[in-house]
Chain A
Amino acid sequence: MGKKSKIIEKEEVVIRFSGDSGDGMQLTGTLFSDTAALYGNDLSTFPDYPAEIRAPQGTVGGVSGFQVHLGKSEVFTPGDLADVLVAMNPAAIKANVKWTRKGGTIIYDQDNFTEKNIRKAGYEKDPVREENLDGYTIIAAPVSSMVKEALKDFGLDPKSVLRTKNMFALGMVYWLFDRKLDYTEKYFEKKFSKKPQIAQANKIALRAGYYYAETIEALTPVYKVSPARIAPGIYRNICGNAATAWGLMAAAEKAGLKLFVGSYPITPATGILEELALRKDLGVKSFQAEDEIAGICTALGASFAGYLAVTTTSGPGLALKTEAIGLAVMAELPVVIVDVQRGGPSTGLPTKTEQADLLQALYGRNGECPVVVLAASTPADCFDYAFQAARIAIEHMTPVILLTDGYLANGTEPWKIPEMKDLPEIKPPRPSPDDIPFMPYKRDEERLSRFWATPGTAGFEHRIGGLEKTIKGTVSYIPDNHELMVKLRAEKVNRVAEKVPDLNAAGDKSGDLLVVGWGGSYGYIMTAVRELQAEGHKVGLVNFNYIHPLPKNVREVFSKFRKIVVCELNMGQMAAYLRMKYQEFTYLQINKVQGLPFTSQEIKEQCIKILEDKLNG
């Protein structure tokens, strides 16, 4: 490996790969992050791709990106601004320059900076000058012509040759970060074991990029990010959707139940259904339904038949499932509804992230219709909260809505693999033989959950359904019975609070400002709070994962701070919910609805303004 003249030692670094949606940027980013993870960095990634599979080539709308944040200590987010931007065309610069740190490095394919492409991206002549990128390290590499040259005697058609451009760029980045090529090379050998020529071409392009960067090294700073000090164990990279699927399967195994998923494909939730459909080896029955309603209704059927049943969707699909969730509340059957939130309302921004389904999850049904609502906060903890959602659904005989979002679903991070023996047992509430004749709405005294007798079990034949019933399962319009049942269903859900962990403030336990978040904004808020603390502010953080019912000690935690600010990617839904639940506090808000996650910096700046108000007043 070449001697590196100008080495920048960094705690953390953010790199963004960006190009046309056909340029293979998602793969490039994934290969880079896997290599970084194997090296021992902590990391977090986020893909950012257009809704159209192939938007018009060369346009800003067609730009697909993949951001990787790696560090030598804990990394909570994919990062606010990129230190290194790889731009495969002028549109990639246009789309990403505002997300690139001032003075950062921009590598671009100068062969793609033709007059036509420059115009298409909305520039006159020279993107570098027009964007005023003087302070940046600019590396204009002739990527296209270099791969053509490297593969000229290879016998590949010109299109296939150009398809290796991303590997040339990746090779350059590997040199820049002093990483080995072996993981990527092995990937191609495996992926194209039946097409060795393609595998070889990609490897050649990768090496050509690496050596090209080495040759031009005098111009280039090299980033060094040492491995992170992280807990010993076996690790893997995992994205939120896979972690969700695995958490559900783990819960089924722990409960001794089989898993059924009834779902309809919808961005950005489809990955969960795809992951579960793969797992026939674990006996998962996946049912791709004719629509969202059939997705949850088949799941309810499977739940009635004794399966751990789940349905996965995004906001528009949750809306369609509304009536059937009401049926699940009334029938008191366990079912997990995963809502991978995206920008709304209506079709909204399918590939972008938002947290605006909270009130829909909490209240979007007819009648008094309480369900348990949980939210995951990192790609890897989607596993934990999917597991908990299933545990609560089964043990408390209730539908549970698990909220994740597009940012968690597609983002990845290294995950210390748990051992199944360390996960809690899940005990389905079975009736005993003494319960014959079976009364379907007789309840467990502690939890108030009913018992789960499933078809095929002799002596427990019973009828359930959406009409109000008595304890025996007889349809009843008696006024007092209805009120009693409404209250019992609500109290059953409230008692779940007895089985969820206390809220724990990170950072300071008391002080001037408590920053409150929920679900996926955790990483950004955490980073902001750490920085504020480092600057001497007395700031704490709580991030809610258990939203309904809320943990029992909320009041106690909140009362230790002078001010409370709720940060969420919506217009203030959690703030409204908390105002209703704990009226004695004043809730300030930080909101964003741009289809994008927060940046830590914007949270930090807002928090400083709030803190200064205090100092002034």
Chain B
Amino acid sequence: MDELRTFEYTPKDFKSDQEVRWCPGCGDHAVLNAVQRALSELGIPRENYAFVSGIGCSSRFPYYMNTYGFHGIHGRASAIASGIKTANTQLSVWQITGDGDALAIGGNHFIHVVRRNIDINILLFNNEIYGLTKGQYSPTSERGLVTKTSPFGTVEEPFSVGELVIGAKGKYFARTVDSNVSLSTQICIDAARHKGTSVIEVLQNCVIFNDGIHDVVTDKEVREDRTIILKHGEPMLFGKNSDKGLVLEGLKLRVVTLGNGITEKDLLVHDAAESNPGIQYMLANMRYPEYPVALGIIRAVSGDTYESAVEEQISIIREKSPVKCMDDLLKSGSTWVVE
């Protein structure tokens, strides 16, 4: 039957019959649309998708997808997804998580899935706040943020997702904005095709508890001047008038304005495939107002995946070993016969 089936889908084919219950205006709605669009373009049979999540607003995501889905427990989605993908390497496994789920309670699993380079796609919704528990600070909240559990401002430094991914030997890191559905869709398609752990940070707006936290870079009026969408092989050019760019000065990035002898040729050309993460690390950590915030695929380096190495080891040892089934094993080694 399978050869007769075609895998042409529309985004609608991935909508489940469940009512979407995120707050009106929540950035999650747009991400859901982007993912459903991306899936409709990937040509993967629907039954081969598995969506996994932990706990938090974003973790309701699997219920809204007409695919296999597993809504887990807080922080453990990376581990559950690792088990699914290691068991069945044919599946396209997606982990939906948030800044609290992935980086606080699930921090250990997050760095280890990245280190192992298991081929799953992680959508990390970063709204720099705890939404489901109604407004406490998260590991990505800016120092000083006033929340219900930090009434006088936080006194701790936030994680930078990209920095953490690269520190954990991550090979794929991209960043998008919830409202930019077309960029999110493109990134999801690319991440799905990338072999290895893909981490996509979504700058996502929580309309209730942290509204406008990303506006300073995502607002329509200013976003072109305050973000740069990186494209592999292209010069790092940005700005409403495409007149700004990035150059390397000494060991630091610097924003330059074209003209006065500076041309596009002087700009850095983005190389997402470079395995040395030096420049990608700086790009991932760029913060407004000193720099534009980097969007797009910042790092995409190929490498062995955990699950394929596991399967390869099994097939090599299977070939060599005299033990082919349990009866062989039971009778192997030191045995004796009682008459």
Q: Taking chain A's interface residues, is the majority helix, strand, or loop, or is none over half, making it mixed? A: mixed
When C-beta atoms are compared, the residue in chain A nearest to B69 turns out to be: A463
Complex CA gap A464/B79 in Å reads: 16
Q: Which of chain A's residues has its CB closest to B21's CB?
A: A475
Question: A175 interface residue, CB < 8 Å from B?
Answer: no
Q: How far is the CB of A5 from chain B (nearest CB, A)?
A: 31
Q: Are A463 and B62 in contact (CB under 8 A)?
A: yes
Interface status of A465 (Cβ within 8 A of chain B): yes
Check if A282 sits within 8 Å of B329, measured CB to CB.
yes
- Are A455's CB and B84's CB within 8 A? yes
CB of A285 within 8 A of CB of B86, answer yes
Q: Is B317 an interface position by the 8 A CB rule? A: yes
Given the interface pairs A38-B336, A281-B317, the reply to whether A417 lies near B331 with Cβ below 8 Å is: yes
Bound-complex Cα distance A417 to B332 (A): 11
How far is the CB of A63 from the nearest CB of chain B, in Å?
28
Please indicate the chain B residues that have their CB under 8 angstroms from the CB of A326 in the complex.
Answer: 73
Is there an interface contact between A262 and B73, defined as CB atoms closer than 8 Å? Answer: no
Question: Are B71 and A467 interface neighbours, CB within 8 A?
Answer: yes
Given A293-B79, A298-B86, residue A304 in contact with residue B330 (CB < 8 A)? no
Binary CB contact string for chain B from 319 to 339 against chain A (1 if under 8 A, 0 otherwise): 011011111011101111111
How far is it, in angstroms, between the C-alpha of A578 and the C-alpha of B50 when the chains are bound? Answer: 43
Cα–Cα, bound, A286→B89 (Å): 15
A300 to B78, CA, bound (A): 12
Hey, which chain A residues are within 8 Å of B336, CB to CB?
A: 37-38, 40, 234-236
Q: Tell me if A616 is interfacial: C-beta within 8 Å of chain B.
A: no
Instruction: List, in ascending order, chain A residues with CB within 8 A of B202's CB.
Output: none
Q: Do residues B48 and A466 form an inter-chain contact, with CB atoms below 8 A?
A: no
Cross-chain contact A462 with B80 (CB below 8 angstroms): no
B52 within 8 A of A: yes
Q: Are A233 and B76 in contact (CB under 8 A)?
A: no
A465 touches B62 (CB 8 A): yes
Is A327 engaged at the interface, CB distance under 8 Å to the other chain?
yes
The distance from the CB of A230 to the nearest CB of chain B, in whole angstroms, is: 6
Which chain A residues lie closer than 8 Å to B76 at the CB level? 293-294, 297, 324
**A305 lies within 8 A of B91 (CB):** yes
Q: Which of B45, B63, B310 contacts A463 (CB 8 A)?
A: B63
Bound complex: CA of A4 vs CA of B296, how far in Å?
A: 86
Number of A-B contacts (CB under 8 A): 206
Contact of B80 among A290, A301, A454 (CB under 8 A): A301
Query: Which of A245-253, A370-378, A568-576 touches B?
Result: A245-253
Which B residues from 75 to 127 make CB contacts under 8 A with A?
76, 78-88, 90-91, 108-109, 112
Nearest neighbor of B77 in chain A, beta-carbon distance: A297
Instruction: Decide if B323 touches A281 in the complex (CB within 8 Å).
Output: yes
Bound-state CA distance A293–B47 (Å) is 28
B81 contacts across to A, CB distance below 8 A: 301
Bound-state CA distance A324–B77 (Å) is 11
User: Contacts of B84 on A, CB cut-off 8 Å?
Assistant: 301-302, 304-305, 455
Q: Is A212 part of the binding interface, using a Cβ–Cβ cutoff of 8 Å? A: no
Across-interface contacts of A40 in B (CB, < 8 A): 336, 338
In angstroms, Cα B84 to Cα A459, docked, is 19
| Bound Cα distance from A416 to B335, whole angstroms | 10
Q: Tell me the smallest distance from the CB of A613 to a CB of chain B, in Å.
A: 44
Cβ A302 vs Cβ B70 within 8 A: no
B contact residues around A293 at 8 Å (CB):
76, 79, 109
With a CB–CB cut-off of 8 A, which chain A residues contact B324? 281
A231–B18 Cα distance when bound, in Å, is 61
CB distance from B252 to the nearest CB of A (A): 35
Q: Are A290 and B108 in contact (CB under 8 A)?
A: yes
- The interface size of chain B toward A, counting residues with CB under 8 Å, comes to 61
Please state if A246 and B67 are interface contacts (CB–CB under 8 Å).
Answer: no
Which of chain B's residues have a CB closer than 8 A to the CB of A232?
337-339
CB pair B70 A463 closer than 8 Å: yes
Against B, the Cβ 8 Å flags (1 = close, 0 = not) of A458-490 are 111111111100000011000000000000000
Closest to B315 in A: A280
Within 8 A of B (CB), among A88-133: none
- Report B8 CB to chain A, min CB distance, Å: 15
Q: Is the CB of A299 within 8 A of B62?
A: no
In the bound complex, CA of A386 to CA of B72 (Å)? 26
**A307 contacts partner chain B, Cβ-Cβ < 8 Å:** yes
Q: Is B66 an interface residue (CB 8 A)?
A: yes
Give the residue name and chain of the B residue nearest to A333 (CB): B70
B318 at the A interface (CB under 8 A): yes
Query: Is B46 among interface residues, defined by CB-CB distance under 8 A?
Result: yes
How far does the Cβ of B307 sit from chain A's closest Cβ, in whole Å? 9
Q: Is A22 an interface residue (CB 8 A)?
A: no
A457 contacts chain B at the CB level, 8 A cutoff: yes
Contact B83 A305 (CB under 8 A): yes
User: Which A residues are CB-close (under 8 A) to B109?
Assistant: 290, 293-294, 297
**Interface presence of B68 (CB below 8 A):** yes
Which residues of the other chain, A, contact B321 by a CB distance below 8 angstroms? 280-281
How far is A37 from B165 in the complex, measured between Cα atoms in Å?
Answer: 55
Residues of A within 8 A of B313 (CB): 280
B326 to A249, Cβ gap below 8 A? yes
Instruction: Give bound CA distance, A253 to B67, whole Å.
Output: 29
Whether A309 is near chain B, meaning CB under 8 Å from some CB there, is yes
- Give every chain B residue within 8 A of A327 (Cβ-Cβ): 72-73
B275: Cβ under 8 A from any A Cβ: no
B91 touches A456 (CB 8 A): yes
B87 A260 Cβ-Cβ under 8 A: yes
Say yes or no: is B4 at the interface (Cβ < 8 Å to chain A): no
Interface centre among A230, A236, A281, A301 (most CB of B within 10 A): A301
Residues of B within 8 A of A282 (CB): 323, 325-326, 329
Are A301 and B83 within 8 A (Cβ)? yes
* Residue in chain A with minimal CB distance to B82: A298
Within 8 Å of chain B (Cβ to Cβ): is A428? no
Report if B155 contacts A (CB, 8 A).
no
Is B71 a contact of A463 with CB atoms below 8 Å?
Answer: yes
Q: Using Cβ atoms and an 8 Å threshold, which residues of chain B touch A281?
A: 317-318, 320-321, 323-324
Assembly CA distance A307 to B82 (angstroms) = 13
* Docked complex Cα distance between A234 and B327 (Å): 12
Q: At the interface, yes or no: B251 with Cβ under 8 Å from chain A?
A: no
B180: Cβ under 8 A from any A Cβ: no
Residue-wise interface mask of B (121-163) relative to A, using a CB-CB cutoff of 8 A (1 in contact, 0 not)? 0000000000000000000000000000000000000000000
A300 touches B83 (CB 8 A): yes
- A253 near B325 with CB under 8 A, answer yes
A87 smallest CB distance to B (angstroms): 28
Our pick among A303, A331, A418, A474 for the contact of B18 (Cβ within 8 Å) is A474
- B70's contact among A458, A465, A474, by CB below 8 Å, is which? A465
Do the beta carbons of A283 and B46 come within 8 Å of each other?
Answer: no
Which residues from chain A sit less than 8 Å from chain B, CB to CB? 34, 37-38, 40, 230-237, 246, 249-250, 253, 258, 260, 262, 279-283, 285, 287, 289-291, 293-294, 297-307, 309, 323-324, 326-327, 331, 416-420, 454-467, 474-475
Known: A281-B324, A307-B87, A465-B72. 9 other contacts (CB 8 A): A233-B338, A260-B87, A262-B83, A281-B321, A294-B112, A301-B52, A309-B87, A460-B47, A464-B70
Instruction: List B residues at the A interface (Cβ < 8 Å).
Output: 5, 16, 18, 45-50, 52-53, 62-63, 65-73, 76, 78-88, 90-91, 108-109, 112, 310, 313-314, 317-318, 320-321, 323-327, 329-331, 333-339
Report, nearest first, the 8 A-B pairs whose CB atoms are least far apart.
A301-B83, A465-B71, A281-B321, A297-B79, A298-B83, A463-B69, A305-B87, A302-B87
> Can you show 11 pairs from A to B with CB atoms below 8 A apart?
A233-B337, A279-B329, A280-B318, A281-B317, A283-B318, A294-B112, A297-B83, A301-B85, A327-B72, A463-B68, A463-B71
